[in-house]
A = this chain, B = another copy of it.
Protein backbone atom coordinates (compact mmCIF):
# COMPACT_ATOMS: atom_id res chain seq x y z
CA UNK A 1 0.00 0.00 0.00
CA UNK A 2 1.10 3.57 -0.48
CA UNK A 3 0.52 6.91 1.18
CA UNK A 4 0.68 10.63 0.51
CA UNK A 5 1.40 13.05 3.35
CA UNK A 6 -0.17 16.50 3.38
CA UNK A 7 0.85 19.30 5.74
CA UNK A 8 -1.53 22.24 6.18
CA UNK A 9 -0.32 25.65 7.36
CA UNK A 10 0.76 28.90 5.73
CA UNK A 11 3.81 29.21 8.01
CA UNK A 12 5.36 26.27 6.12
CA UNK A 13 5.13 28.27 2.90
CA UNK A 14 7.47 30.96 4.29
CA UNK A 15 11.28 30.82 4.10
CA UNK A 16 11.46 30.28 7.87
CA UNK A 17 9.59 27.11 8.66
CA UNK A 18 9.56 23.62 7.29
CA UNK A 19 7.27 20.63 7.60
CA UNK A 20 9.19 18.17 9.78
CA UNK A 21 6.23 16.03 10.88
CA UNK A 22 6.45 14.17 7.58
CA UNK A 23 9.92 12.80 8.40
CA UNK A 24 8.58 11.13 11.53
CA UNK A 25 5.46 9.89 9.76
CA UNK A 26 7.50 8.53 6.84
CA UNK A 27 9.63 6.51 9.22
CA UNK A 28 6.60 5.05 11.00
CA UNK A 29 4.69 4.33 7.79
CA UNK A 30 7.76 2.69 6.23
CA UNK A 31 8.04 0.48 9.30
CA UNK A 32 4.46 -0.67 8.65
CA UNK A 33 5.45 -1.52 5.07
CA UNK A 34 3.80 1.54 3.50
CA UNK A 35 5.65 3.57 0.86
CA UNK A 36 5.31 7.37 0.63
CA UNK A 37 4.62 8.38 -2.98
CA UNK A 38 4.38 12.14 -2.54
CA UNK A 39 4.24 14.94 0.01
CA UNK A 40 2.55 18.29 -0.29
CA UNK A 41 2.44 21.43 1.80
CA UNK A 42 -0.51 23.75 1.38
CA UNK A 43 -1.59 26.99 3.03
CA UNK A 44 -4.92 28.00 4.46
CA UNK A 45 -6.86 28.37 1.21
CA UNK A 46 -9.80 25.96 1.42
CA UNK A 47 -9.97 25.57 -2.36
CA UNK A 48 -6.31 24.71 -2.82
CA UNK A 49 -6.41 22.41 0.20
CA UNK A 50 -9.42 20.53 -1.18
CA UNK A 51 -7.71 20.11 -4.56
CA UNK A 52 -4.58 18.80 -2.81
CA UNK A 53 -6.72 16.19 -1.01
CA UNK A 54 -8.36 15.15 -4.29
CA UNK A 55 -4.97 14.86 -6.01
CA UNK A 56 -3.70 12.71 -3.15
CA UNK A 57 -6.77 10.48 -3.29
CA UNK A 58 -6.12 9.91 -6.98
CA UNK A 59 -2.67 8.44 -6.39
CA UNK A 60 -2.48 7.05 -2.85
CA UNK A 61 -4.35 4.47 -0.75
CA UNK A 62 -3.76 6.40 2.46
CA UNK A 63 -3.83 10.20 2.79
CA UNK A 64 -2.18 11.31 6.00
CA UNK A 65 -2.77 14.95 6.94
CA UNK A 66 -1.34 17.15 9.70
CA UNK A 67 -2.28 20.65 10.81
CA UNK A 68 -5.19 22.98 10.25
CA UNK A 69 -7.40 21.50 13.01
CA UNK A 70 -7.25 24.51 15.33
CA UNK A 71 -10.17 26.81 16.21
CA UNK A 72 -9.44 29.79 13.93
CA UNK A 73 -10.80 30.56 10.48
CA UNK A 74 -7.36 29.74 9.06
CA UNK A 75 -7.86 26.11 10.11
CA UNK A 76 -9.52 24.64 7.04
CA UNK A 77 -8.53 20.98 6.98
CA UNK A 78 -11.92 19.66 8.14
CA UNK A 79 -13.77 21.69 5.49
CA UNK A 80 -11.26 20.88 2.74
CA UNK A 81 -11.49 17.11 3.29
CA UNK A 82 -15.30 17.26 3.40
CA UNK A 83 -15.24 19.25 0.13
CA UNK A 84 -12.89 16.75 -1.50
CA UNK A 85 -15.05 13.79 -0.49
CA UNK A 86 -18.28 15.64 -1.29
CA UNK A 87 -19.78 15.03 2.15
CA UNK A 88 -21.12 17.22 4.96
CA UNK A 89 -19.64 18.32 8.26
CA UNK A 90 -21.70 18.04 11.45
CA UNK A 91 -21.03 19.36 14.94
CA UNK A 92 -20.47 16.34 17.18
CA UNK A 93 -22.14 16.85 20.54
CA UNK A 94 -19.85 14.45 22.43
CA UNK A 95 -16.73 16.26 21.21
CA UNK A 96 -18.36 19.60 22.00
CA UNK A 97 -19.07 18.48 25.57
CA UNK A 98 -15.48 17.30 25.88
CA UNK A 99 -14.19 20.69 24.72
CA UNK A 100 -16.33 22.59 27.26
CA UNK A 101 -15.15 20.19 29.98
CA UNK A 102 -11.50 20.65 29.01
CA UNK A 103 -11.73 24.43 29.33
CA UNK A 104 -13.77 24.23 32.56
CA UNK A 105 -11.08 22.02 34.12
CA UNK A 106 -8.60 24.78 33.37
CA UNK A 107 -10.96 27.39 34.91
CA UNK A 108 -11.10 29.26 31.61
CA UNK A 109 -14.10 30.16 29.47
CA UNK A 110 -14.03 28.50 26.04
CA UNK A 111 -13.62 31.02 23.19
CA UNK A 112 -16.55 30.75 20.80
CA UNK A 113 -14.26 29.76 17.92
CA UNK A 114 -13.38 26.50 19.60
CA UNK A 115 -16.77 24.97 18.84
CA UNK A 116 -15.43 24.46 15.31
CA UNK A 117 -13.11 21.79 16.69
CA UNK A 118 -16.21 19.61 17.18
CA UNK A 119 -16.95 19.71 13.44
CA UNK A 120 -16.73 16.16 12.15
CA UNK A 121 -16.68 14.84 8.60
CA UNK A 122 -19.64 12.54 7.91
CA UNK A 123 -18.43 8.96 8.20
CA UNK A 124 -15.35 9.85 10.27
CA UNK A 125 -14.31 8.32 13.58
CA UNK A 126 -13.00 10.93 16.01
CA UNK A 127 -9.49 10.37 17.43
CA UNK A 128 -8.99 11.62 20.97
CA UNK A 129 -6.18 14.12 21.58
CA UNK A 130 -4.85 13.42 25.07
CA UNK A 131 -2.73 16.59 25.29
CA UNK A 132 -4.46 19.22 23.15
CA UNK A 133 -7.88 20.54 22.20
CA UNK A 134 -7.86 19.45 18.53
CA UNK A 135 -9.28 15.94 18.03
CA UNK A 136 -8.17 13.96 15.00
CA UNK A 137 -10.34 12.13 12.49
CA UNK A 138 -10.11 8.73 10.76
CA UNK A 139 -12.07 8.05 7.58
CA UNK A 140 -12.29 4.62 5.94
CA UNK A 141 -14.27 5.11 2.75
CA UNK A 142 -14.68 4.25 -0.91
CA UNK A 143 -13.66 6.98 -3.33
CA UNK A 144 -14.18 6.52 -7.07
CA UNK A 145 -14.40 2.78 -6.60
CA UNK A 146 -11.32 2.34 -4.41
CA UNK A 147 -10.94 1.94 -0.67
CA UNK A 148 -9.20 4.97 0.81
CA UNK A 149 -8.04 5.82 4.34
CA UNK A 150 -7.91 9.51 5.27
CA UNK A 151 -6.28 10.51 8.55
CA UNK A 152 -6.43 14.03 10.04
CA UNK A 153 -4.00 14.79 12.87
CA UNK A 154 -3.01 18.07 14.56
CA UNK A 155 0.20 19.82 13.49
CA UNK A 156 1.77 20.17 16.96
CA UNK A 157 4.49 17.49 16.83
CA UNK A 158 4.06 15.93 20.27
CA UNK A 159 0.26 15.79 19.92
CA UNK A 160 0.55 14.35 16.41
CA UNK A 161 3.06 11.68 17.46
CA UNK A 162 1.09 10.55 20.52
CA UNK A 163 -2.11 10.27 18.49
CA UNK A 164 -0.43 8.46 15.59
CA UNK A 165 1.05 5.85 17.89
CA UNK A 166 -1.99 5.46 20.11
CA UNK A 167 -4.80 5.50 17.55
CA UNK A 168 -3.50 5.14 14.01
CA UNK A 169 -0.82 2.46 14.18
CA UNK A 170 -3.15 -0.19 15.67
CA UNK A 171 -5.79 0.58 13.02
CA UNK A 172 -3.26 0.65 10.18
CA UNK A 173 -1.78 -2.69 11.23
CA UNK A 174 -5.19 -4.27 10.61
CA UNK A 175 -5.45 -2.78 7.14
CA UNK A 176 -1.94 -2.89 5.70
CA UNK A 177 -1.11 -6.35 4.28
CA UNK A 178 1.11 -8.18 6.74
CA UNK A 179 4.30 -8.15 4.64
CA UNK A 180 6.91 -6.80 7.00
CA UNK A 181 9.83 -4.43 6.66
CA UNK A 182 13.34 -4.36 8.11
CA UNK A 183 15.74 -1.43 7.83
CA UNK A 184 19.34 -0.81 8.76
CA UNK A 185 21.99 1.84 8.20
CA UNK A 186 25.77 1.66 7.90
CA UNK A 187 27.79 4.86 8.39
CA UNK A 188 31.14 5.27 6.70
CA UNK A 189 33.91 7.81 7.28
CA UNK A 190 37.04 8.56 5.31
CA UNK A 191 35.96 7.32 1.87
CA UNK A 192 34.43 9.40 -0.93
CA UNK A 193 30.89 8.57 -2.02
CA UNK A 194 32.02 7.47 -5.47
CA UNK A 195 34.41 4.90 -4.01
CA UNK A 196 31.78 3.58 -1.60
CA UNK A 197 29.37 3.21 -4.50
CA UNK A 198 31.92 1.58 -6.79
CA UNK A 199 32.93 -0.98 -4.17
CA UNK A 200 29.46 -1.77 -2.83
CA UNK A 201 27.33 -1.71 -6.00
CA UNK A 202 28.53 -5.18 -7.13
CA UNK A 203 27.28 -6.47 -3.76
CA UNK A 204 24.00 -4.66 -3.22
CA UNK A 205 22.78 -5.10 -6.80
CA UNK A 206 22.74 -8.85 -6.14
CA UNK A 207 20.09 -8.21 -3.47
CA UNK A 208 17.14 -7.21 -5.63
CA UNK A 209 14.76 -7.48 -2.67
CA UNK A 210 16.73 -4.98 -0.57
CA UNK A 211 16.41 -1.31 -1.44
CA UNK A 212 19.77 0.41 -0.99
CA UNK A 213 20.17 4.19 -0.76
CA UNK A 214 23.53 5.95 -0.55
CA UNK A 215 23.59 9.41 1.02
CA UNK A 216 26.56 11.73 1.48
CA UNK A 217 26.33 13.82 4.65
CA UNK A 218 29.41 16.05 5.13
CA UNK A 219 32.29 13.61 4.90
CA UNK A 220 30.10 10.81 6.18
CA UNK A 221 28.49 8.32 3.81
CA UNK A 222 25.30 6.61 4.90
CA UNK A 223 24.10 3.36 3.35
CA UNK A 224 20.41 2.77 4.07
CA UNK A 225 18.92 -0.68 3.50
CA UNK A 226 15.26 -1.58 3.44
CA UNK A 227 13.65 -4.93 2.75
CA UNK A 228 10.03 -6.03 2.65
CA UNK A 229 9.40 -9.74 3.07
CA UNK A 230 6.72 -12.12 4.32
CA UNK A 231 7.93 -11.84 7.91
CA UNK A 232 10.03 -9.34 9.85
CA UNK A 233 12.54 -12.12 10.53
CA UNK A 234 13.01 -12.89 6.84
CA UNK A 235 13.36 -9.21 5.98
CA UNK A 236 15.88 -8.66 8.79
CA UNK A 237 17.88 -11.69 7.67
CA UNK A 238 18.26 -10.34 4.13
CA UNK A 239 19.23 -6.87 5.36
CA UNK A 240 21.74 -8.29 7.84
CA UNK A 241 23.24 -10.60 5.21
CA UNK A 242 23.81 -7.67 2.84
CA UNK A 243 25.19 -5.49 5.67
CA UNK A 244 27.65 -8.21 6.61
CA UNK A 245 29.01 -8.48 3.06
CA UNK A 246 29.36 -4.71 2.77
CA UNK A 247 31.09 -4.46 6.15
CA UNK A 248 33.56 -7.12 4.95
CA UNK A 249 34.23 -5.11 1.79
CA UNK A 250 34.65 -1.69 3.43
CA UNK A 251 36.41 -2.89 6.57
CA UNK A 252 37.24 -0.31 9.17
CA UNK A 253 35.78 2.54 7.10
CA UNK A 254 32.39 1.44 8.51
CA UNK A 255 32.21 3.23 11.85
CA UNK A 256 28.64 2.48 12.79
CA UNK A 257 26.41 -0.46 11.99
CA UNK A 258 23.46 0.31 14.27
CA UNK A 259 22.98 4.05 13.94
CA UNK A 260 25.49 5.38 16.48
CA UNK A 261 27.11 8.73 15.67
CA UNK A 262 30.86 9.09 15.16
CA UNK A 263 31.12 10.97 18.48
CA UNK A 264 29.39 8.13 20.31
CA UNK A 265 31.61 5.51 18.69
CA UNK A 266 34.79 7.43 19.56
CA UNK A 267 33.73 7.85 23.19
CA UNK A 268 32.72 4.19 23.38
CA UNK A 269 36.15 3.07 22.15
CA UNK A 270 37.96 5.52 24.45
CA UNK A 271 36.13 4.17 27.47
CA UNK A 272 36.52 0.52 26.42
CA UNK A 273 40.27 0.92 25.94
CA UNK A 274 40.75 3.06 29.06
CA UNK A 275 42.09 5.94 27.00
CA UNK A 276 41.44 9.66 27.46
CA UNK A 277 41.72 12.55 25.05
CA UNK A 278 42.30 16.31 24.95
CA UNK A 279 42.16 18.71 22.01
CA UNK A 280 44.15 21.70 20.77
CA UNK A 281 42.23 23.31 17.95
CA UNK A 282 43.06 26.21 15.73
CA UNK A 283 40.91 26.38 12.56
CA UNK A 284 38.09 24.24 14.01
CA UNK A 285 37.77 26.72 16.88
CA UNK A 286 36.45 24.24 19.46
CA UNK A 287 34.29 22.17 17.14
CA UNK A 288 36.00 18.86 17.94
CA UNK A 289 35.59 19.51 21.69
CA UNK A 290 32.03 20.64 21.19
CA UNK A 291 31.12 17.50 19.21
CA UNK A 292 32.68 15.20 21.80
CA UNK A 293 30.96 16.98 24.69
CA UNK A 294 27.61 16.88 22.92
CA UNK A 295 27.44 13.27 24.12
CA UNK A 296 26.27 12.84 27.70
CA UNK A 297 28.92 11.12 29.85
CA UNK A 298 31.80 12.38 27.67
CA UNK A 299 33.54 13.72 30.79
CA UNK A 300 34.67 10.16 31.57
CA UNK A 301 37.05 10.17 28.56
CA UNK A 302 37.38 13.79 27.47
CA UNK A 303 39.51 15.98 29.73
CA UNK A 304 39.12 19.23 27.85
CA UNK A 305 41.15 21.23 25.43
CA UNK A 306 42.37 24.51 24.14
CA UNK A 307 41.17 26.73 21.34
CA UNK A 308 44.50 28.15 20.25
CA UNK A 309 43.44 30.73 17.75
CA UNK A 310 46.46 33.03 18.05
CA UNK A 311 50.10 31.95 17.91
CA UNK A 312 50.58 33.11 21.49
CA UNK A 313 47.77 30.82 22.66
CA UNK A 314 49.44 27.88 20.88
CA UNK A 315 52.50 28.50 23.00
CA UNK A 316 50.62 29.34 26.19
CA UNK A 317 48.27 26.34 26.20
CA UNK A 318 50.03 23.66 24.16
CA UNK A 319 53.70 24.61 24.59
CA UNK A 320 54.24 24.99 20.86
CA UNK A 321 57.66 26.70 20.56
CA UNK A 322 57.36 30.16 19.01
CA UNK A 323 60.43 29.32 16.91
CA UNK A 324 58.63 26.33 15.39
CA UNK A 325 55.71 28.53 14.34
CA UNK A 326 58.18 31.08 12.88
CA UNK A 327 60.01 28.41 10.92
CA UNK A 328 57.13 26.36 9.49
CA UNK A 329 54.11 28.65 9.88
CA UNK A 330 51.04 28.09 12.07
CA UNK A 331 49.50 25.87 9.37
CA UNK A 332 52.07 23.09 9.08
CA UNK A 333 52.58 19.43 9.89
CA UNK A 334 55.09 20.43 12.57
CA UNK A 335 52.71 22.76 14.41
CA UNK A 336 49.82 20.27 14.17
CA UNK A 337 52.04 17.62 15.76
CA UNK A 338 53.28 20.02 18.44
CA UNK A 339 49.69 20.99 19.31
CA UNK A 340 48.71 17.34 19.75
CA UNK A 341 51.80 16.49 21.79
CA UNK A 342 51.58 19.67 23.87
CA UNK A 343 47.91 19.36 24.81
CA UNK A 344 48.43 15.68 25.69
CA UNK A 345 51.24 16.60 28.08
CA UNK A 346 49.45 19.56 29.59
CA UNK A 347 46.12 17.82 30.16
CA UNK A 348 47.52 14.48 31.30
CA UNK A 349 45.35 12.59 28.81
CA UNK A 350 46.65 9.49 27.00
CA UNK A 351 45.81 10.91 23.55
CA UNK A 352 46.16 14.42 22.16
CA UNK A 353 44.52 15.89 19.05
CA UNK A 354 45.95 18.90 17.22
CA UNK A 355 44.13 20.69 14.40
CA UNK A 356 45.38 23.55 12.27
CA UNK A 357 44.36 24.75 8.82
CA UNK A 358 42.82 27.45 6.70
CA UNK A 359 39.02 27.45 6.98
CA UNK A 360 38.60 30.38 4.61
CA UNK A 361 37.11 32.14 2.81
CA UNK A 362 40.20 34.38 3.11
CA UNK A 363 43.73 33.67 4.31
CA UNK A 364 44.71 31.15 1.64
CA UNK A 365 47.90 31.28 -0.43
CA UNK A 366 49.05 29.22 -3.41
CA UNK A 367 51.18 27.09 -1.11
CA UNK A 368 48.62 26.89 1.66
CA UNK A 369 45.20 27.19 0.00
CA UNK A 370 41.81 27.57 1.68
CA UNK A 371 40.62 24.15 2.78
CA UNK A 372 44.10 22.86 3.72
CA UNK A 373 43.85 21.12 7.08
CA UNK A 374 46.41 19.23 9.17
CA UNK A 375 45.23 16.95 11.94
CA UNK A 376 47.64 15.27 14.36
CA UNK A 377 47.06 12.48 16.86
CA UNK A 378 49.68 11.92 19.57
CA UNK A 379 49.80 8.99 21.99
CA UNK A 380 53.18 9.60 23.64
CA UNK A 381 55.05 7.15 21.43
CA UNK A 382 54.26 8.36 17.95
CA UNK A 383 52.40 11.25 16.39
CA UNK A 384 50.42 10.70 13.22
CA UNK A 385 49.73 13.71 11.01
CA UNK A 386 47.15 13.64 8.20
CA UNK A 387 47.01 16.40 5.59
CA UNK A 388 43.82 17.01 3.62
CA UNK A 389 42.45 19.61 1.28
CA UNK A 390 38.72 20.01 1.86
CA UNK A 391 36.31 21.80 -0.44
CA UNK A 392 33.28 23.84 0.46
CA UNK A 393 32.67 26.93 2.56
CA UNK A 394 34.11 27.77 5.98
CA UNK A 395 31.47 25.74 7.79
CA UNK A 396 32.00 22.65 5.61
CA UNK A 397 35.81 22.82 5.86
CA UNK A 398 35.62 23.08 9.65
CA UNK A 399 33.10 20.27 9.96
CA UNK A 400 35.08 17.94 7.69
CA UNK A 401 38.26 18.70 9.65
CA UNK A 402 36.53 17.82 12.93
CA UNK A 403 35.22 14.58 11.42
CA UNK A 404 38.71 13.65 10.24
CA UNK A 405 40.06 14.25 13.77
CA UNK A 406 37.39 12.08 15.38
CA UNK A 407 37.86 9.36 12.76
CA UNK A 408 41.63 9.27 13.35
CA UNK A 409 40.97 8.57 17.04
CA UNK A 410 38.48 5.83 16.12
CA UNK A 411 40.87 4.10 13.72
CA UNK A 412 43.70 4.27 16.26
CA UNK A 413 41.57 2.53 18.88
CA UNK A 414 40.00 -0.17 16.67
Chain A positions within 8 Å of B, measured between CB atoms, are 11-18, 20, 23-24, 26-27, 30, 35-43, 45, 48, 51-52, 55, 58-59, 213, 215, 222, 224, 278-279, 281, 284-290, 292-294, 296-299, 302-310, 312-313, 316-317, 346-348, 359-362, 394-395, 398
Find out whether the CB atom of A286 lies under 8 angstroms from the CB atom of B290. yes
Name 19 A/B residue pairs within 8 A (Cβ), A-sorted: A13-B35, A13-B37, A15-B24, A38-B40, A38-B41, A52-B55, A279-B286, A289-B290, A293-B307, A296-B360, A299-B309, A303-B312, A304-B308, A304-B309, A304-B310, A304-B313, A306-B307, A316-B347, A317-B346
Measured CB to CB, the nearest residue on chain B to A49 is B38
Residue of B nearest to A183 (CB): B15
Query: For residue A362, which residue of chain B has the nearest CB?
Result: B296
The answer to whether B51 and A45 have CB atoms under 8 Å apart is no
- Is there an interface contact between B30 and A15, defined as CB atoms closer than 8 Å? yes
Task: Please measure, in the bound complex, the distance between the C-alpha atom of A377 and the C-alpha atom of B215, giving whole angstroms.
Answer: 43
Say yes or no: A213-B55 contact (C-beta < 8 A), given A23-B18, A306-B305, A306-B307: no
Contact A289 B285 (CB under 8 A): yes
Chain B residues with CB under 8 Å of A308's CB are 304
Q: Are A348 and B293 in contact (CB under 8 A)?
A: no
Q: Which residue of B lies closest to A299 (CB)?
A: B309
* Contact in complex: B317, A293 (CB < 8 Å): no
Q: A285-B293, A286-B287 are in contact. List 8 more A-B contacts (CB 8 A).
A: A13-B26, A13-B39, A16-B23, A37-B43, A51-B58, A278-B313, A312-B347, A317-B346
From B52, B298, B299, B362, give the contact of A297 (CB < 8 A). Answer: B362
Residue of B nearest to A402 (CB): B290
Give every chain B residue within 8 A of A317 (Cβ-Cβ): 304, 306, 317, 346
Q: Which of B213, B286, B316 contacts A293 (CB 8 A)?
A: B286
**Taking the nearest CB of chain B, how far is it from the CB of A225, in angstroms?**
12
Q: With the chains together, A306 CA to B359 CA distance in Å?
A: 20
Complex contacts, A18 vs chain B, CB 8 Å: 18, 20, 23
Which single residue of chain B is at the shortest CB-CB distance from A60? B48
Contact at A215–B16, with CB atoms within 8 Å? yes
A395 to B291, CA, bound (A): 11
Bound-state CA distance A27–B285 (Å) is: 31
Taking a contact as CB atoms under 8 Å apart, the answer to whether B11 and A15 are in contact is no
A256 to chain B, nearest CB (A): 14
Contact in complex: A348, B312 (CB < 8 Å)? yes
A24 to B16, CA, bound (A): 9
Please give, as numbers and ranges, the residues of chain B lying within 8 Å of A287 by CB-CB distance. Answer: 286, 290
Given A16-B215, A294-B398, A316-B347: A45 and B39 within 8 A (CB)? no
CB–CB B38/A42 < 8 A: yes
Among B26, B55, B361, the residue within 8 A (CB) of A55 is B55
